[in-house]
Structure 1
């Protein structure tokens, strides 16, 4: 079973089976472990890992809006499985690791019981579903955990500050992305004067261009915890531009990952400045990307 193999894989491997055991007992364990590796699917770990790798890649590409032919995924699955098999499963290291792990953890009697279980209908059902359960569980758990990041960050800021740690400062050390300060009132007035048409000229521009003209759109704050975790993503925001060049009716229309960057994106759009106009402009949309700087 994949879950069992991954869990045991964290244990320091020992060479084959305990050398202190009798030769007959070691032979029994070796035979039982070989059978167990066949029944629980660990022997085919290359296929399972390749399937998970391919499906994770498919998920990421689909979420990014990238569409490729199924041939692409078949090649990815096939080549990944082949490389893992040739460089790991078919080597002595594979035998050494799993014989050592199972042999150290289980007695002959326990190995016999495990073999009997995996030969049963329930054991075979567990093998056939464990990969899908593990994969979907990982994806859904990750999405759920990411959705909690804003709440986790708020709690951590308070607790860490009480212990003498500055989460914001630590995050800034971990990534070089910085936020530009918002312009002052005088700076805004200067930008509007320099960049926006006025009087008759403004009327003619509004009649010929059905779009708001941006004057200032600053960088959003990068959530500290997301930066520390190396998370990147995007948020698509819809909004209206008012007559005086401000923004209102700001709302998220899509995001990836969900929730993590939403609040920062909304606050950023609240500070956007556009050229004043006679009627304003409705149904504006922008995609804000959150990416780590090198």
Structure 2
């Protein structure tokens, strides 16, 4: 009786990690490179070329459609229809250093130690545009309440009208512990202030402002948030005036436009005391909401 061929199970050869890696890169037995044959690599390469070509073509068309619909000079959605809304925020300068970007504290030690230099340099840098080329040219005009400027013109903001106490030559008052803080209204395209009716001024408006209110201005007020803050903040002056003339508005992306501002001069703040200060802008179409940062700005002041 002939012997039947008996096949025995043969365990796979044990390979080292190096041998396994070499075989994965090139397997001479199956003629595979990195686990794929040449035809498999060709098919997957052609697939991804077609896939990414279609992806690039799709996004190119979408970008072309997007740029066709975009106006480079004005936003598509304005005021109430836009995300920003029609009530501007308020900003202050100088801002704390970048490493304290989330802070709103203006802290310095006045006197000969020169620990106030950062705040002076920061303010002077911000004012550089007001002193440079943007304040010259055909687009610039001297505005008055009696004359209407052209849509493409911008009103000249004259730094010479600002009291010398809030000037670089006097270190904006930081060296003597009587600092000046710049308050400005944030830009919203095509926003124009609406005046209050003199007979219905808001109850929250300070009494001294109610007495001198002029509907041709947007007014700025700063005061301590708490009774202790109000006591320690000391007397305040505003330069060039407490009100911003409404002929500086609206902002319509005119070349060379610079935001008008008010310098708030803290003439005798109490040293060594942290003061919480809130500054507000006043117009009938400015809402005051501290949580949403509308119509007002908060910062702390500490003079040592």
Q: TM-score, normalised by structure 1?
A: 0.27
Q: Whose relative contact order is higher, 1 or 2, with alpha carbons under 8 Å and at least 6 apart?
A: 2
Q: Give the structure with higher Rg (CA).
A: 2
Structure having the higher helix fraction is 1
Structure having the higher strand fraction is 2
